[in-house]
A and B are shown apart, each in its own frame.
Chain A
Amino acid sequence: MRTKILVIEDDAAILSFITTSLEATGYEVASFIDGNEASVSLDKYHDYSLAIVDIMLPGKDGFELLPELQSYGVPVIFLTAKGELSDKVKGLTGGAEDYMVKPFEMLELLIRVDKILKRYKKSEPIIQIRDVVIDPEKRTVTKQGKEVYLKPMEFDCLMMLVCNRNKALTRKQLLGQLWGMEFEGETRTIDTHISRIRKKLDFQDVIKTIPRIGYRLEVDE
C-alpha cells in the first residue's frame, strides 16, 4: 500500500505540479482546489498520512481545516504566499507540522514531507526496487537475499535518490543534503559514490545520469 497524501491548493497550476511530482516520487495523491469540498470529502475518507494545505483557500481556509485534519491525526504542511512571522506563528502554534512560503522548491517540499512521514513512522518501512530490498530502520540493503555492505555516505545517497524517485537531483542538491550546505567539496565526490552504489547493487540502468543536471532513480510503479 502506498502512502497517501492530501493536497489542497486553489491554484490549478501549482496543484498540478505538486500532485505530479508527489506521484512521480511514489505517493498516492488526493487533491482539492476548494476548502469546502476537501472538508466534505474528509468526512467520508480521511486515512491520509500527510496533508499539504494552502492557507488562502476559497470556502474554508487552511486555518479552519487544520483542526479537522488534526482530529483525524493527519499532520499538516502549510503553503502560503504570505511570509509574515505572525502567520507562521499562527500556523505552527495551531498545530501545523511545517510551513512553506511560496515560491518554494519542490525538492524542499519533498524532503520535508519525507522527514515528517519518518517522524510519524508513516513512510514505507521496507523499500523494494527490483531485487534489492532496503530497510531504512536497520540501514541494511539486501540483494537477492544477500546483504550488501554500503558505506554510511553511500547509504544516505541511495536513500535520498529513493525518497525522490523518478525526480532528478542535481549534484549540488545531493552534496548539500548529504554533506551540509557549507560543504564546498568537489561535485565529483558524488559521481564516485553513485558509481560505487551502481556497481554494488547492479543499478546501472536504475540510477540514470541526466546530462547537465545530475542523477535520477527511475522506478516503474
Chain B
Amino acid sequence: MKLFRKIYLQVLLGILVLAMGILGYLLWEVQRQNLLDTCEFEKDNILYSISYCVERIGREEFDINHKIVSNTVVIQEFRNVFGVKGALSKDGKELYNRSSYEFQQDKLKKMRKASGTGKTELFVSKPQNVDGKKLILFYMEEVQFGGSIYSFVIYKDVTDIYGRTQRLFFRGMLFAICMLLTMGILLFGGIHRILQPLTVLKTVAAQIAEGEYKSRIQVTGKDEIAEVTISFNRMAAKVEAHIEALTEVNEKQKQLLGSLAHELKTPLTAIIGNADMLLTVHLSEQKTEEAIGYILSEGRRLARLSEKMLKLNDLENKEIGQMKKVKVGELLYKLEQLTLFQRQEKKICLELQCMPENLQKFMDEDLMMSLLINLLDNAVKASKTDSRILVRADEHGIMVEDFGKGIPACEIKHVTEAFYMVDKSRSKSAGGVGLGLALCEKIAELHGGRLDIESQEGKGTRVSVFW
C-alpha cells in the first residue's frame, strides 16, 4: 500500500534526521567546551611560563648588550621552559624551533591584528590545520629581555579532542541506527494497525462496486478513519436503498410490460386471423360481416388498452399538482349524472349519502371522478338487474357498495394488479381490459390514501377510498 510506505518512510526519515541533529549538536557543543577549557588552561600555563622565563633570564648575569651572548641565554631559557612545544624568533628571524612544525609569523601577525589583541598580550588562535594536525597556537609578538624584543609561538596539539569527537559521533550513529531499526519494526506494526481500517474500507468498497450492496464495515475507535467509516456505511445504506427501490420499480415495469405483451396477443390473434380468413377464404356475406365486426371490436379493444396503459403510465410519473378544495356533495351529484347511462340498462338505483352535507376535501377533482366512475362501473357490472348501489362519503373516506356477486376471497388481493380479471370472459365481453382497479389504486395513492376492498361472494362488494 502506497500510503503506508509513504508514512512509514517519512516517519523513519524524520527520526533519523532528528537523531543525527541532536547527536551532532551535542558532540559539537562538547568539543567546543573541551577546546575552550584546554585554551584557558594552556593560556594560564603559558603566561606563567613566560613570566617565569623572563624572571630566570633576569637573574642570569651577562652582558645584555652583547647580542650573541644574550641571544644564547634567551634560547637556553626558552628551551628549558618550553622544550619542543614552541618557537622563538627575533626581528622576524627564527632563533629556535625544535618542534616538527613551521610557523608562519606573518599569518599570525595578521590574525592577531584582526582579533584586536595587543602586541604584548598573548594571542590565542583558533585551532589550525598544520601538517595534518589540529593545533591551537599561542602567540606573543613582543617579549622584552634586557633591551631586545623576542616573539614566542607556543602550540598545543588538540588533534586528540577532534579524534575523540569523531569516534563518539560514529559510535553514537551506530547506536542511533540500532535504535532506528528497533523503531522501524515497532512503527511497522503501529502504522499498519492504524491504516488497517483503510484496507478494510477498500475491500468493502470493491465489494459494493461488484454489487454486494449489503456489505458494511464494523466501526472501531473514534478517530477520523472511524468517522470516514461511519459516513461510508451511511452512504452504502443509501445506495442499497436506492438500488432496491430501482430494482423494484424495474421489476414492476418488466411485469407490466410482460402482461401487456400477453394482453396484446389475444386481440392481435383475432384481428390477424379474421383478416387472413377474409382475404383467403370464400365466405358467405353473413360470415364476412361477422369477421369484419370482430376485427373492429378487437381493434377497439386494443385502442382502449393503449389508452388505459397511457393513463396508468401518466399516473406513474405524476406528482399530484392541482389539488383544490372540492365540495364532496357536488362531486357525488356529478357522478350520478355521468353514470346515468350505464345504470339505466340494468335499472340500478344509486343511493348517495354525504355526511356532513357540506363536506369539503382537497383533491384533484378529475382524477377522483375517474376513480369513482371506475368503481361504479365495476359495481354496475357485478350487480343484478333491479338492484341498488350505495355511495357514501364522510370525514374518513368515500365508499362504493354493491349487492352483486362479490369477489372470491382468494382473489381479492390480486384484483388491483394490472390485467387481473376475476371473470375473464365476462369482463372481456363487457369491454374490460383489466386495468380499472390498478388505475384506482394509483389515484388513491396520489391522494395519499389507499383502496380497501371487502367482499363476500354472492352478497356484494364494498370498496372504500380513505383520504
Q: Which residues of A contact B (CB under 8 A)?
A: 10-14, 16-18, 20-21, 24, 33-34, 56, 58, 81-82, 102-107, 166-169, 210, 213, 216, 218
Contacts and interface: CB of A to CB of B under 8 A. Distances in A.
Looking at A14, A17, A56, the one whose CB has the most chain B CB atoms below 10 A away is A17
B274 A17 contact: yes
A58 B268 CA distance: 20
A11 B428 contact: yes
B interface bracket (residues with beta carbon within 8 Å of A): 20 to 34
B429 interface: yes
Contact of B282 (A14, A18, A34, A166): A166
Nearest to A173: B280
B245 to A, nearest CB: 28
B283 interface: yes
B297 A20 contact: no
A20 B262 contact: no
A142 B67 CA distance: 176
B268 A13 contact: no
Contacts of B274: 13, 16-17
Interface string B227-270: 00000000000000000000000000000000000100111111
A17 B280 contact: no
Nearest to A81: B265
B294 A213 contact: no
A207 to B, nearest CB: 13
B425 A58 contact: yes
Contacts of A104: 269, 273
Nearest to B284: A20
Contact of A218 (B270, B276, B282, B287): B282
B272 A12 contact: no
Looking at A10, A14, A105, the one whose CB has the most chain B CB atoms below 10 A away is A14
B298 A13 contact: yes
A34 B425 CA distance: 9
8 contacts: A11-B270, A12-B429, A13-B297, A13-B298, A17-B273, A17-B276, A58-B425, A106-B273
B279 interface: yes
B430 interface: no
Nearest to B423: A58
A21 B276 CA distance: 10
A216 B131 CA distance: 132
A3 to B, nearest CB: 18
A17 B269 CA distance: 10
Interface of B: 262, 265-274, 276-277, 279-283, 287, 290-291, 294-295, 297-298, 423-426, 428-429
B251 to A, nearest CB: 17
B292 to A, nearest CB: 11
Contacts of A218: 282
Given A20-B287, A167-B280, A213-B279, A13 B294 contact: yes
A12 B281 contact: no
A18 B281 CA distance: 12
Contacts of A106: 273, 276-277, 280
Given A13-B294, A102-B269, A20 B277 contact: yes
B437 to A, nearest CB: 19
A16 B423 contact: no
A22 to B, nearest CB: 10
B266 to A, nearest CB: 5
A150 B441 CA distance: 68
B287 to A, nearest CB: 6
A39 to B, nearest CB: 15
A12 B274 CA distance: 11
Looking at A21, A105, A169, A210, the one whose CB has the most chain B CB atoms below 10 A away is A21
A216 B280 contact: yes
Given A24-B282, A106-B276, A216-B280, A17 B291 contact: yes
